Each structure stands twice: as C-alpha cells, then as structure tokens.
Amino acid sequence: MEGLTDVPAKWITPDGVKKGIDTICIEEALSISVSNGNDVSFSLGITMRTPGNDINLVTGLLFSEGIINSNNQIIDFHTKNNQITVIVTGLDDKTISNFNRKNTSTASCGVCGKESISNLLHIHGPEISKDLVINTSIISQSIDELRNQQKLFHDTGGTHACGLFDKNGNLLFIGEDIGRHNAMDKLVGNVLSNSSHSFLESFIIFSGRLSFELVHKARRAGISILVSIGAPSSLAIDIAIEHGLTIVGFAKNNNMTVYTGRARIANS
C-alpha cells in the first residue's frame, strides 16, 4: 500500500526479544508551488506528509487558505518526485503577498511557518447549516465506522484520519495522513473534485485532538458539526463560537462532551 514501508525491529516483552519486520508510515517532504502558468508564481512552502493523494492534499490546502474558491480554478498540476506545482487562474501579486510562507511545516502543524495566522482568520466559507441535527447514537456509530476504515492506521498505528458523514451516519469521504491537517486537506480536496455540496448537510469526525487549523478548514468548507475523539483547544472553541459551529470532544465509548452548538446534538 502506498505510504507504507517495512523496517527491521525488535519486540521486547517479558517473554524475551523477538526480531522481525515492522510496517510503518512514511513521512516525506512535499514542496508546493503555485503559478498562473506564465510570469506569476510563488512557493507555498514544504509540508511533511504521507505520500499518496497529493493532488487532493494540495487542492484542499489551496482552498483552505483562500487561494482558490472552487476546484474549477485549478488548470493543471505538474508533479516531479516530491515537488508539485499547481497552475491556477486569477493569481496576482496580492495573492503572493498574502500567502507567502517562510518555513517548513511539520506533520503536526498546519499553519507553522506562516507570518501570521491573521491571514486565515478573515477567510470565511459558505453559510453553514442551522437545521442539521445529529443524534449521539449516529455519532457513536460513525466513530466505529471511521475506525474500521483507517487502513493506514490499521497497518502502522501512526496516522490520523477524518471522515465526512451524512446525517444518517453514512461515510462519504475519508482522509488519512501522518499529519492531522494533511488528512483534512486530503478529504477537502477529494470532496471539491466531486461535490462541494457534500459539506453542508454533513458532519466530520477527527481521530485525534481538535486544534484551531482544523476548525478553520471545516468553517471554510461549510461543515457545521465537528466531532473529535480527543480534546479541542481553546482557540478551536473560540473560533467555533464566533462562527456558530458545533464542537464535540472526547467522543468514545458512547460518551462525549459538547463544547459549543449544543442545539445540533440530539441525545438518543
């Protein structure tokens, strides 16, 4: 499977030491550039990701950062080794100034290296659903389904995932990567290449903690309900309150904590 590699390992247990081969998740740098195909271009920087679905990853990243508003603005992708250049319409000097990155992003941080997160704070998305209500039983069911579909995690134990579900708990799209923000970008990019309407009447489940950049990406897409297996951060909650999103944390074993937007969660 793409994104995996085998390495020699030793298992140390009370019964002794066993040698063998272990499967781990690949982490490699991806250099991303954006161009209008002519005389305007800039580097979006380097992100550490699990190889695979790079087109979706870059598409989701460009959308989340406001460089594009739809998949139709992407003309082409030029890929070579671990470098990718995206040809987009409407690229100008102002875009370059707004989205310049200085440093490398690690697999754990979606906005590391930006001069300021203020560029993200003013980027909004479509009007979010005010009528969508999800039952806690559907959330618990969907968590189990996401866990069952985490193929890279099953093999390595080393990846994050996010899944987009409809109101009945049917899995629509999944993103998986060593970085939680990359997993989200892969999911968003996949949805954009199909139907962005899928965002509006659905909810999303994250396999780990819920941080600011994930809430931003969800708000940008128009997703109103965010569920996390782990804890949300304070800034994640602040952004959710500001934009009227629902945040649910510590969702496991049929228990969960609702931090914002309680009206969208129905208790079975």
Query: Residue 185 belongs to a domain with what CATH number?
Result: 3.40.140.10
Task: For residues 164 and 234, state if they share a domain.
Answer: yes
Report CA dihedral (25, 208, 141, 162) to the nearest 10 degrees.
-60
Average per-residue pLDDT in the chain?
89
* Least confident among 35-39, 91-95, 178-182: 91-95
Of 116, 142, 174, the position where a domain reaches its end is: 116
* Confidence tier at 122 by pLDDT (50, 70, 90): low
Q: Return the ∠ at Cα 137 (arms to 134 and 142), rounded to 5°.
A: 80
Smallest CA-to-CA distance from 162 within 178, 146, 141 is with 146
Task: For residues 144 and 262, state if they share a domain.
Answer: yes
Query: Would residue 157 count as lying in a domain?
Result: yes
Residue 64's φ and ψ, nearest 5 degrees, are -65, -30
Identity of the amino acid at 158: G
Question: If phi over 0 gives left and psi between -120 and 50 gives alpha, with beta otherwise, what is residue 72?
Answer: alpha
More confident residue, 208 or 90: 208
Three-class secondary structure of residue 161 per DSSP: strand
Identity of the amino acid at 81: N
- Regarding beta strands 134-135 and 171-177, do their DSSP bridges make them parallel or antiparallel, or are they unpaired? unpaired
Question: Is 25 in the active site?
Answer: no
The whole-angstrom distance between residue 219's C-alpha and the CA centroid of its chain comes to: 12
Query: Would residue 121 count as lying in a domain?
Result: no
Query: Would residue 2 count as lying in a domain?
Result: no
Task: For residues 213 and 168, state if they share a domain.
Answer: yes
Q: Is the pTM of this model over 0.85?
A: yes
Instruction: Give residue for tokens 């704070």.
Output: 121
Domain limits for position 51: 28-116
* H-assigned helices in the chain: 54-64, 93-98, 118-121, 136-149, 151-156, 180-192, 212-221, 234-243
**pLDDT, tens digit, 9 for 90 and up, residues 215-265:** 999 999 999 999 999 999 999 999 999 999 999 999 998 999 999 999 999
Residue 22 pLDDT exceeds 90 = yes
Specify whether the CB–CB gap between 187 and 172 falls below 8 A: no
Task: For residues 144 and 249, state if they share a domain.
Answer: yes
The gap between the terminal CA atoms of the chain, to the nearest Å, is 39
pLDDT average, residue stretch 163-188: 96
Specify whether the CB–CB gap between 138 and 167 falls below 8 A: yes
pLDDT average, residue stretch 198-220: 93
Residues for the chain: how many in total?
268
The DSSP 8-state label assigned to residue 105 in this structure reads: B
Residue 151's φ and ψ, nearest 5 degrees, are -65, -45
Residue 120 pLDDT exceeds 80 = no
Q: Return the ∠ at Cα 180 (arms to 59 and 166), rounded to 5°.
A: 75
Of 52, 83, 116, the position where a domain reaches its end is: 116
Task: For residues 242 and 167, state if they share a domain.
Answer: yes
Residue 261, CA distances (Å) to 168, 240, 244, 245 in order: 19, 8, 7, 6
Smallest CA-to-CA distance from 181 within 152, 158, 151, 214 is with 214
Task: For residues 176 and 259, state if they share a domain.
Answer: yes
Active-site annotation holder among 25, 109, 112, 162:
109
